[in-house]
């Protein structure tokens, strides 16, 4: 079986608060994006994993695809498989490529071994592999809170009918740890948040502000929809800031860094 795990972009990203467990509560809109890896899985007498495309450091057992297989093996008793991953989605880019690969692995193994686990079980398993893995089970536009694992389908895609481009400056990567070191959660800035935008408490699951902003005329997005990581990341990685500005210079109606970077997306009216 062959499939093509796609990446995601963050359409707005607010760092709301630091949690007692060391993680941060976020609010964001996840949108599927067309840049894809290629993943091939088939039953075999022994387990094999191979990978080509963009090189990934570390052992095979550290790869999220293999971790997803091991989880399914432990919890569902599945047999051996051969897995081949062709990596096209860059890492350290905020595109969720590894998370997508892991979630697609769970979905494929469920189908190959006819487990019929169901959506809720797959989402539960995916969420244990990574904060945004769960998004790729449904793989539809969604409003996300918590650490990115509590999802509400959006019901529309604000970028429908628009031309989307995604680029990452060569050699630039931004680790999640680096990005969080440079950001101050919105709760710490006072109850009116950043730039006077009110906070949205996780307990109320009030998606109105960000979701309603996504419904506005695209000409307003530049002011209404922000990624809180940009301010500090751009200081340390000016090439990312210049890429965003280049998109605007080339006529983009909206441009933003996705996730914690280093990739930037721009959208143009068709």
Number of domains in the chain: 2
51 & 73 share domain:
yes
94 & 170 share domain:
no
Q: Is residue 63 a contact partner of residue 53, using CB atoms and an 8 Å limit?
A: no
User: Residue for token digits 């509560």?
Assistant: 25
Q: Which of 185-194, 206-215, 239-248 has the highest mean pLDDT?
A: 239-248
Statement: residue 199 has pLDDT above 50: no
Three-state DSSP class for residue 206: coil
198: Cβ–Cβ under 8 A, 6 or more apart, which residues? 191, 192, 209
33 & 147 share domain:
yes
Q: CATH number of the domain at 74, please.
A: 3.30.230.10
Lowest mean pLDDT among 7-11, 58-62, 157-161, 178-182: 178-182
65 & 171 share domain:
no
> Is 160 among the residues known to form the active site?
no
67 & 136 share domain:
yes
Give the model's pLDDT for residue 92.
Answer: 86
96 & 26 share domain:
yes
29 & 129 share domain:
yes
Spot the catalytic one: 8, 87, 168, 244: 8
Domain boundary, last residue among 153, 177, 212: 153
Domain boundary, last residue among 132, 153, 174: 153
* Closest CA relative to residue 6, chosen from 29, 27, 30: 30
39 & 115 share domain:
yes
Statement: residue 43 has pLDDT above 60: yes
59 & 103 share domain:
yes
The alpha carbon torsion through 50, 260, 142, 105 (nearest 10 deg) reads 10
User: Residue for token digits 């604000």?
Assistant: 158
Spot the catalytic one: 101, 132, 149, 228: 132
Residue 149: pLDDT band with limits 50, 70, 90: confident
Report CA 8 to chain centroid distance, whole Å. Answer: 5
Radius of gyration of the chain (CA): 19
Q: CATH number of the domain at 264, please.
A: 3.30.70.890
Give the model's pLDDT for residue 208.
Answer: 61
Average pLDDT taken over every residue of the chain: 91
177 & 79 share domain:
no
Per-residue pLDDT tens over the stretch 220-263: 999 999 999 999 999 999 999 999 999 999 999 999 999 998 99
61 & 176 share domain:
no
pTM for the structure as a whole: 0.90
Statement: residue 112 has pLDDT above 90: yes
7 & 130 share domain:
yes
Residue 175: pLDDT band with limits 50, 70, 90: confident
Give the model's pLDDT for residue 189.
Answer: 62
Domain that holds residue 199: 162-269
Domain boundary, last residue among 108, 129, 153: 153
> Is 220 among the residues known to form the active site?
no
């Amino acid at each position: 079986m062959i499939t093509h795990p796609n990446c995601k972009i963050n359409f707005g990203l607010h760092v709301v608060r630091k949690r007692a467990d060391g993680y941060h509560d976020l609010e964001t809109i996840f949108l599927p994006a067309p840049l894809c890896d290629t993943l091939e899985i088939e039953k075999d007498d022994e387990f094999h994993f191979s990978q080509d495309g963009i090189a990934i450091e570390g052992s095979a057992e550290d790869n999220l695809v293999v971790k997803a297989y091991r989880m399914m093996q432990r919890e569902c008793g599945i047999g051996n498989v051969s897995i081949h991953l062709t990596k096209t989605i860059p890492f350290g880019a905020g595109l969720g490529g590894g998370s997508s690969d892991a979630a697609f692995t769970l979905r494929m193994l469920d189908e190959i071994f006819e487990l019929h686990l169901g959506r809720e079980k797959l989402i539960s398993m995916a969420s244990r592999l990574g904060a945004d893995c769960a998004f790729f089970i449904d793989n539809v536009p969604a409003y996300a809170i918590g650490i990115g694992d509590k999802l509400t389908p959006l019901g529309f895609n604000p970028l429908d009918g628009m031309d989307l481009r995604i680029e990452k400056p060569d050699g630039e990567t931004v680790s999640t740890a680096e990005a969080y070191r440079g950001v101050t959660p919105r709760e710490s800035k006072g109850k009116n948040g950043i730039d006077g935008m009110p906070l949205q408490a996780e307990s109320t699951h009030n998606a109105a502000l960000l979701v309603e902003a996504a419904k506005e005329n695209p000409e307003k997005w530049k002011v209404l929809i922000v990624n809180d990581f940009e301010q500090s990341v751009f200081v340390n990685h000016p090439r990312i800031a210049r890429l965003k500005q280049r998109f605007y210079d080339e006529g983009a109606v909206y441009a933003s860094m996705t996730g914690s970077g280093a990739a930037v997306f721009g959208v143009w009216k068709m």
